[in-house]
Amino acid sequence: MNISNSFDLGFDPKLLPVELTDKSYGNDVSPSFYFRAKESYFVLWVEEKDKNLRELEGSARYTLVHGVNLGDEESPEIYDDHNKGVVLSTESFFELEEEINRLIS
């Protein structure tokens, strides 16, 4: 399911220096994406702009976590790497963009 087509992300994914791959699942309320920076995968969760509509109370609009590939390079299956902490949790797209730029440099 490509939930991001009908969801207000708060930014245009084409403006990021990485290619976001939609990994949203049919039961997800909000979209999630993965991308690769250097040799690592990352997962980006995007919540509703309106804090009252968010699935998890108190969650930030943008949460970036480490990803792990349980597939292979030809057919990646990227999931949150629960063995590592959150990379970034923020309301600001600009902070998210800055962190992504840092990860790829």
**27, 17 in Cβ contact below 8 A?**
no
**43, 65 in Cβ contact below 8 A?**
yes
Q: pLDDT at position 27, please?
A: 79
Q: pLDDT at position 102, please?
A: 97
The tokens describing 59, both together, are: 């969650």
Q: pLDDT at position 6, please?
A: 72
Q: pLDDT at position 1, please?
A: 41
Q: pLDDT at position 2, please?
A: 54
Q: What pTM, to 2 d.p., does this model score?
A: 0.92
Domain residues for the domain of 96 are 3-104
List the pLDDT tens digit at each of the 105 positions of the chain. Answer: 454 567 899 999 998 999 999 998 877 888 999 999 999 999 999 999 999 999 888 999 999 999 999 999 999 999 999 999 999 999 999 999 999 999 999
The tokens describing 64, both together, are: 């970036």
Closest CA to 47 of 65, 34, 64, 59: 59
> For residue 22, what are the CA distances in angstroms to 25, 52, 105?
9, 24, 23
When divided into structural domains, the chain yields a total of: 1
